[in-house]
Structure 1
């Protein structure tokens, strides 16, 4: 049994509870255990570093230190949490002075940032640790009847100097997982584009235009559903889908699944068990 320190992202705790619900169902089937870090705090998204770099380093150094205390790598199912925490780790690893300052505060609660735990995405764990061969063996309900549009999202691909697992221009990891689960991937231009989430509150029209382009292309390619490894991308592509498609005058819709739900379906769990009924578009 491979064990990981599972970072509880804000979006999953509040809006996309089905991500963790489905993950809990199938983790043992694939020989992994995600130990929830209930003492972790918000990573600050893509904003805290600009407002207060020291607090950014502190809260994420603490998150990593909690994983290090368990002797485990930190794993997240949110792309933005991935980029944010890896960014903080890079700053702490490259600056002894910053690391000492952060540890001076962390020591008050018996924690220390050492830099020994890796920060990884759930998708990477499935590909690298569980392995596609084992996943193929465990499939009970192959997704062979489905044409699936993978939507990677920005923060698992870019910047490649910090993430480095996929070619940001031609990513393949999610495609490989879909195929291992028996599904058929469709090639489409927007699979590695932005979903528009991070501009939604300040430039809604532009955000909806971006989302509609991805949704419309997947619909035109006759995909049965979109799958994404990011709950923020899911929030836009599912929750704001009706608004985006209406604005683009597209008279159709397409379901959007979380990565953990797609895996659960292939492992034999029902849509009800996986929480898919929580989606806006089903």
Structure 2
């Protein structure tokens, strides 16, 4: 049976991290997963809407979830932040259906006024990582590997929203996760462990405490390098922006050259499935991915 999802690409993958959009399409095609893109979806707010109004965050994302419910499909994200925000809204509204149905009625009232379908609480919000690990299965991924990433040492950077924004997460332990490392093993790469892999990248601080944000990012990158990593791999485009796009600025703040490539999760997996680096947008990164590709024999 073909896996099928209502695809929520998010804002960053359609702009600053276009290579994530490319590589998600390439990976799901290689795995035989069908995506129905939610063209009418709106930004999840990345956690900022609730600073003004929890009701605003819940209403905007109830609408996003309702779009997937209309298709009778789970909503698929490929961004830790989108997963954390939309997933937590889904949890909160499902709980409200039991304990405070008037609140859900209020949310749906706003949706009705805008001509939108109501939130029903009938589907799931699922990150691409969970879809790969839980729905598709790592054994099935292994069967499709055509180019083992043997010898490549990968350091995961989960993103705090993926691990801690929701009350519960599937297929993993939020305090001691292994799902990313298990994906690395499935494609033949070697996981590298370091202290910062489950911590914040610093992106949320960057607009008002830039130096501190870059110091955080620099600390994580240095730890990964010290642990022997050939690259960082992240399931979050916002983490990617702080760790890759801003790495030259990070280097200036910490006074040290880094040069550690940062890959999106679908780029890594798709490489092992035989997808070309060009098709995955690996030439779009700020920190060159050539050392990774050379180590893999490209």
TM-score (norm 2): 0.91
Aligned CA distance change for structure 1 residues 164 and 130 (closer, same or farther; 3 Å): closer
The aligned residue for residue 139 of structure 1 is 145
The aligned residue for residue 76 of structure 2 is 75
The aligned residue for residue 43 of structure 1 is 44
Contact 1:152 1:192 in 2 (8 A): yes
The aligned residue for residue 56 of structure 1 is 57
Alignment of 1:179-198 (within 5 A): 179-198=185-204
The farther-off stretch of 158-167 and 138-147 is 158-167
| 1:233 pairs with 2:239 | yes
Secondary structure of the corresponding residue to residue 278 of structure 1: coil
Aligned CA distance change for structure 1 residues 164 and 124 (closer, same or farther; 3 Å): closer
For each residue in 1:60-103, what CA deviation from the matched residue of structure 2 results, as whole angstroms up to 9, or x when unmatched?
00000000000000010111111111222223221311211122
Aligned CA distance change for structure 1 residues 111 and 159 (closer, same or farther; 3 Å): closer
**Which of 261, 274, 277 is the equivalent residue of 2:280?**
274
Alignment of 1:1-282 (within 5 A): 1-93=2-94, 94=96, 95-108=100-113, 109-159=115-165, 161-163=167-169, 165-282=171-288
Structure 1 position 165, deviation (Å): 4.3
Contact 1:73 1:117 in 2 (8 A): yes
Alignment length (residue pairs): 282
For each residue in 1:114-157, what CA deviation from the matched residue of structure 2 results, as whole angstroms up to 9, or x when unmatched?
00110111100000011000100101111112111111110111
Structure 1 position 164, deviation (Å): 5.4
Structure 1 position 31, deviation (Å): 2.5
Secondary structure of the corresponding residue to residue 283 of structure 2: helix
- Structure 1, unmatched stretches of 5+, are none
**d(CA) in 2 for partners of 1:91 and 1:221?**
39
Runs of 4 or more consecutive aligned structure 1 residues displaced over 3 Å after TM superposition: 162-165
Contact 1:225 1:256 in 2 (8 A): yes
**d(CA) in 1 for partners of 2:24 and 2:225?**
27
Q: Give the root-mean-square deviation of aligned CA atoms.
A: 1.4
